[in-house]
Amino acid sequence: MNPLTDAAGLAADPVADPPERRELRRELRKLVGATSPVDRTLALDEAEEFDDELHTALKRLGVFAIGGHPDHGGDGDLRDQVAVIEELGAGPTSMAVFMVVHYMGTHILSAHGSAAQRQRWLDPLMAGDAKVSFALSEPGAGTDIAAGMRTVARRDGDGWVLSGQKTWISGARRADVLVVLARTSPADGSTVDGITMFLVPAGAPGLRVRELRTVAVHGLDTDEVFLDDVRVGADAVVGEVDRGFRLVLGTLNRERINAAAGAVGAATGALAAAVAYARERTAFGSTLGAFQAVQHRMVDGALAVEAARSLLARAAAVEAAGGRADLLSSMAKIAASEAAVKVTTDGMEILGGAGFSRELPMQRWFRDVRLWVFAPLANDMVRNYLGERLLGLPRSF
């Protein structure tokens, strides 16, 4: 079978994937096809609603525990997370974005949470009974968040009081717990230390969430978070005081890898849709797929996707084995997001008026994949990082 005609439009490599991961992909494709087919995903996107039914189905499949602490029911590793997110990206992209955030939360708690924090938050998160949001960026600081962070936490007795504002936060409105970064000491020369990571329960007095209107990823809320003297106990601190940003740095490779997986999945789904349309659409006594210019666009898209997938697989394998995947994950993130932009742009033009229709999914992929060009880090900044760390060039920022 041509992998592009696969039910979810995803080309899984039968050599690279062991039997268990191939079975996971098959189960996910069946689940998405039965629970969130194209028409339902489009309807939820139009209504800007979270897919609760799909979330419940994913809970039954057990994907929320993948890569988590083994003592708390965790199984599999980052490569299995990649498989989940790729499959979701090929269809309900918003749920792929949700899973990127979820896996960040479970990794932080698995690697750095106390026994009490794991019991209170990690167990329900891995069971699919709770949701997490990661509150880092602020109105005046995104890429330069460590230097520009204005959210502060001050000691108050044996606890802390948090004050500040976060923005562009995914899933905060539905979250049961927010991972919040706040400055607890003046910035040092490197700006890395002096920031602490806190767990803030939803509904805490002084915590307020306002949803932002965004152009894409409509199935997952994007929010502003306001912290007006939010009081938490000493047990809310994850890891060490003043060392929380280092925990964030330790999760960046995984976040970039999983973001790349979402982009690869969406690109493959969009490419499959473009190929199917080109095979069937007649023009000038032939089909669009018979025209050389159209074929070249789709072939170039397939090349870009497969190159990104290879980088992604390599980065995930290195990270899962405990190696240094910072350069590979950075390259995979750029390659995947830009492949997704190319494929969806070409897809819109190949479909023409049909691409402009909100009754077909191409326009949704076209909008959704733009997220990964600047999240979790803008591609220009990732290139700056690679210029310095990969090529040994002078620091450019």
Which residues are part of the catalytic machinery? 255
CB 108 within 8 A of CB 252: no
> What DSSP string runs through 89-135?
HTS-HHHHHHHHHHHHHHHHHHHH--HHHIIIIIHHHHHTS--EEEE
User: Which residues are 166's β-sheet partners?
Assistant: 225
Q: How far apart are CA 327 and CA 336, in angstroms?
A: 14
* 348 three-state secondary structure: helix
Q: Can you say how many angstroms the Cα of residue 126 is from the centroid of all Cα atoms in its chain? A: 17
CB 277 within 8 A of CB 332: no
Q: Which helix or strand (DSSP H or E) is residue 154 part of?
A: strand 152-156
User: Which residues are 182's β-sheet partners?
Assistant: 196
Q: What share of the chain is helix, strand, coil (3-state, %, to 5)?
A: 55, 15, 30
Q: How far apart are CA 26 and CA 20, in angstroms?
A: 10
* 332 three-state secondary structure: helix
Q: How far apart are CA 289 and CA 294, in angstroms?
A: 6
Q: How far apart are CA 295 and CA 165, in angstroms?
A: 49
CB 232 within 8 A of CB 200: yes
